[in-house]
Structure 1
Amino acid sequence: MCDLKQLVRDIPDFPKKGIIFKDITPVFQDPKGLRKTVAMISDHYKDKKIDIVVGAEARGFILAPTVAFNLGAGFVPVRKPGKLPYEKISMSYDLEYGKDTLEMHKDGIKKGQRVLMVDDLLATGGTMAACCKMVESLGGTVAGCAFLIELTFLNGKNALSKYDIFSLIKY
């Protein structure tokens, strides 16, 4: 199996000066890297009775549907404002470099469903915390939060302390 960490590329000063962006596109370009990423996340949650996998725009869209497929679950996208056509809920949150808002269809999660949250990167935890709050406001139960990368020095786990956190790569 390939070493996923070796496939991640650092991009300095993106999206703004002083930030080192962890570019995961080489992981997705590598067939073994992509397969390993999806398999490891899926395997970790295979016995957790997941009904729905939620993925946040944009890179969470790459992992979440493939994990959902492996788990026999549905997929629900969380998008930036103005991208979803149906009735939606929204949540604003702080990023490590600004503010943002996300939206989800109101009928995306049904009461009592077990939901796996998937995104590419855990930094400060703001994006995932907002997604979890939306899921819970619709009556879902967050069964876990899975990430390809966790930036441990930003302490994002603190914002998600009540959830099971699973990260494949830690910096």
Structure 2
Amino acid sequence: MWPADIEQKARHIIRDFTARGLKLATAESCTGGLIVGALTEVAGSSSVIDRGFVTYSNEAKIEMLGVAGETLAAHGAVSRETAVEMALGTVTNSAADFAVAVTGIAGPSGGSAEKPVGLVHLAAAGRDGAMRHREMRYGDLGREAIRLATVRTALDLVAELAHAP
């Protein structure tokens, strides 16, 4: 169902988190649940995955994750600030030790000169206060390719944060 590299990354996270007794939650906008879908494809993921939030609309980001309306008004849904607040809100509103959040423009429309198609902000947060952010500019690769690239980057970001000193 998934490209081999995504399956491998997901299996690694499930195996690692299971061994360490850790829980993970996701907050997804442009990927619409693909990250948690890739993770739950792995047998045994129920011991790791706490929940996944699909917060496509600004209202969902506010209501489900506590993203500030002021943040959305000042920076937009596709921004570092929103991704960070989504990740923090996911940790706060779940039983997860770690959370990953993504928000971006998968296209084919919706882009602008300032925020082109292929721009994605990802953030990972730990209950311990650890935080990582990554801004990706994948380019106009097509909707499916942008979404799959975002899943790859999100899984890498989770693995990186979970092993940060």
Task: Name the TM tier (shorter chain).
Answer: 0.3 to 0.5
Q: TM-score, length-normalised on structure 2?
A: 0.42
Higher RCO (CA-CA < 8 Å; seq separation 6+) = 2
Q: TM-score, length-normalised on structure 1?
A: 0.41
